[in-house]
Structure 1
Amino acid sequence: MARASSKKPRNVAPIDPMPARVDPCLATLVDKPPIGPDWAYEVKWDGYRLALHIEPGRVRVLTRGGYDWTDRFPSIADDARRLAVKTAILDGEAVVLNDQGRSDFGMLQRVLGRLPSAVEAGAIVFYAFDLLYLDSHDLRRLPLRERRRLLEPLVAGREGAVRLSEEVQADGDEFFRVACAHGLEGIIAKHVEKPYRSGRGDWWQKITCKRRDSFVVVGFEPSTVAGHLGRLLLAARKDGELVYVGGCGTGWSNELSRELRKLLEGMATKGPAVALRRKGAVFVEPVLVAEVEYRAWTDDWKLRHASFKGIREREDDATVCALLCNGSQGAEER
């Protein structure tokens, strides 16, 4: 009689308690992709980092900071209940895809945020790229290649709200070049022999096509066109305080310009949250964070060629750009 094959993960303890929450592994920003057979590559998704906790009788969707946002991602939670698991923790990114099939952070923000959106919440897709726990087994001590071996049968080929983030075995430099040519944000490189480690390290690396960070909105300048936005005034953190780092005056449509101005006018204050005097500016409560692409910093720490990409609330666990004594360290992946 043939012996039944075991589906239990290899090299793990028989039973492990399920963590209530896992601090995510974060990628370190580098200039060039690492080279070698131990590295695999993925698209860098432009969305919200989430952990999907599946348990008997309930599903939780947790943000990077540990907030329970299950009610904000109902289609993801509903589709997760259809996975063939009893208990699991999936690490991934929630995104909205545009007409070109690229993840669009601005579209995602409009679905989740205060601004009107033509896209329904059901359009949000969770791309799973790691499996941390499966049916009473903690997988974090296993190498990435083994975790991916267990993840892929669960989500590969699915067309629902929970899908697989494909891993690419390719030349890193060429994959990065193609990703940038197709308008993607960048790529992620992961060492396939490393276990899952919370926090930032060089076992996960990100290579971005453009510089992009999150900045606190501290005010705006009205446009010469009535009812429109002229320029956002932005701040970053330095020694625990907010400091002005310049403005952003491009990246929005006429419709979004009006909507942003209306939103910010409802948050106006008498004085600025930073040391700044600017004639005609309207200062606001520092509760919103703008995602901004930019080319570089000036010598006096002002943004060069900044372009608006999206907006979120600081309570959404947005990591605000910090200015350091020896340079700039931006907000990492969401």
Structure 2
Amino acid sequence: MQTREQRPRFASDFGALQKALGGRGGKRSAAGAILYAFDLLYLNGQDLRSLPLGQRRELLGDTLVRARHSSLRFSEEVDVDGGAYLDLACKLGLEGIIANDRDAPHRSGRGGDWLKIKCSQSETFAIIGYEPSPVALGGIGKLLLAARRGDSLVYVGGVGTGFTQASGTALRKQMDKLMVLKSAAGMRGRRKTARWIKPDLLAEISFRAWTDDGKLRHASFKGLREGEDAADMFELD
């Protein structure tokens, strides 16, 4: 999705998109947004998930043509060498590419039929708390993050960069409404200055690598993900 105000800039910017839409829970109307649709799971009450992707996309294209809605666009596809196409996307400053099996039905959850291939390592983690700081932007010294392992959450480290004064302040206000006494990842006796919150907020985090003890290295905050994206939370082996 993009906003019309973003047209002069071609590179992907997750934070800029959130700002343009007023951020999570923002009051600004999304009337200026353009949605690029790439799949159709239901049509006029009919479940299309058992159909192959190619057929679902044909129905999607026909539906969008009939809708004639300026804010809805059809996401085009190309049949090319994936590696070369990814290189081109990265050179253009895009987040990455999506690869699909056109003959596959829609299956819920993660699998090999639908792949998101990113130019930089970026994943979704739950925010389970933060360490306050009187000098950091927004008063957030570090966000404390967790990934999913089965039905549990596991602490994977913190992130203290990527905020602006405005985004940091807004995020801290949201977190302070979710305060709890204990860590959702069971971190007893650690980080005495930490303030724990319910793991309701999901953050998109870019990072360079994993440390030997399973923590994020050189992490940076990109923005919040909506709650509906919980299925995308990073899952540990």
- Give the structure-2-normalised TM-score: 0.79
Is 1:235 matched up with 2:141?
no
Change (3 A) 1:212 1:139: same
Q: Which amino acid aligns with 1:155?
A: L
What amino acid is the match of 2:35?
F
Asked if structure 1 preserves the Cα contact closer than 8 Å seen for 2:128 and 2:198, the reply is yes
Q: 1:223 to 1:187 in 2, by over 3 A?
A: same
Q: Which structure: greater helix fraction?
A: 2
Amino acid at match of 1:298: T
Structure 2: how far apart are the matches of 1:291 and 1:222? 20
Q: Give the conservation status (yes or no) of the 8 Å contact 2:51–2:106.
A: no
Question: Which amino acid is the alignment partner of residue 207 of structure 2?
Answer: Y
Match of 1:190 among 100, 107, 112: 100
Structure 1 stretches (4+) deviating beyond 3 angstroms? 96-99, 101-106, 108-112, 131-151, 156-159
- 2:10–2:93 Cα contact (<8 Å) kept: no
Q: SS in structure 2 opposite 1:292?
A: strand
Q: For 1:237 and 1:170, how far apart are their aligned partners in 2?
A: 34
Aligned mate of 1:217, from 127, 135, 159: 127
Report the CA distance between 1:175 and its aligned residue.
Answer: 1.4
Measure, in 1, the Cα distance between the counterparts of 2:45 and 2:69: 27
Q: Which residue of 1 aligns with 2:32?
A: 123
1:301 and 2:214 are equivalent in the alignment: yes
SS of corresponding position for 1:244: strand
| Residue equivalent to 2:173 | 262
Distance in 1 between residues matched to 2:34 and 2:57, nearest whole Å: 19
The structural deviation recorded for 1:300 is: 0.8
Q: Which amino acid aligns with 1:188?
A: I
Q: Distance in 2 between matches of 1:289 and 1:113?
A: 11
What is the identity percentage for the equivalent residue pairs of Structure 1 and Structure 2?
45
Question: Are 2:162 and 1:251 aligned?
Answer: yes
Structure 1 residue 175 corresponds to structure 2 residue 88: no
- Three-state SS of the structure 1 residue aligned to 2:38 is strand
1:231, 1:281 → 2: CA distance? 9
1:248 positional shift: 0.8
Alignment match, 1:62? none
| CA shift in 2, pair 1:258/1:147, >3 Å | closer
**Displacement of 1:131:** 3.7
SS in 2 for 1:120: coil
2:127, 2:199 within 8 Å by CA — same for their partners in 1?
yes
Letter in structure 1 aligned against 2:61: E
Range 232-241 or range 291-300, more displaced: 232-241
Q: Distance in 1 between matches of 2:181 and 2:60?
A: 53
Determine the C-alpha separation between the residues in 2 that align with 1:218 and 1:249.
14
Contact 1:112 1:121 in 2 (8 A): no
Q: CA, structure 1 residues 143+245, in 2 after alignment: closer, same or farther (shift >3 Å)?
A: closer
- 1:230-283 Cα offsets, whole Å, 9 max, x none, are 210111223422221100111121211122223223333333333151142222
Aligned length, in residue pairs? 226
Closer, same or farther: CA 239–147 of 1 in aligned 2, 3 Å: closer
Q: How much has 1:166 moved relative to structure 2?
A: 1.2
The one-letter amino acid of 1:225's match is V
Given the two structures, how large is their TM-score scaled by the length of structure 1? 0.58
**In structure 2, which of residues 47, 67, 70 is the aligned counterpart of residue 160 of structure 1?**
70
1:221 shift after superposition:
1.6
Give the CA RMSD over aligned residues: 3.0
Cα–Cα, structure 1 residues 120 and 152, in superposed 2: closer, same or farther, change >3 Å? same
The residue type equivalent to 1:289 in the other structure is L
Q: SS of the counterpart of 2:214?
A: coil
Aligned-residue offset at 1:105:
3.8
Change (3 A) 1:174 1:156: farther
For residue 187 of structure 1, report the CA deviation from its aligned partner: 0.8
For 1:310, the equivalent position in structure 2 comes to 223
Secondary structure of 1:155's counterpart equals: helix
The alpha carbon displacement at 1:313 in A equals 5.5
Q: Distance in 2 between matches of 1:136 and 1:286?
A: 34
Matched, 1:207 2:133: no
1:96 and 1:105 in contact (8 A); partners too? no
Tell me which structure has the larger Cα radius of gyration. 1
Match for 1:244: what amino acid?
Y
**Contact 2:90/2:96 (<8 A) preserved:** yes
Distance in 2, Cα, partners of 1:214 & 1:236: 8
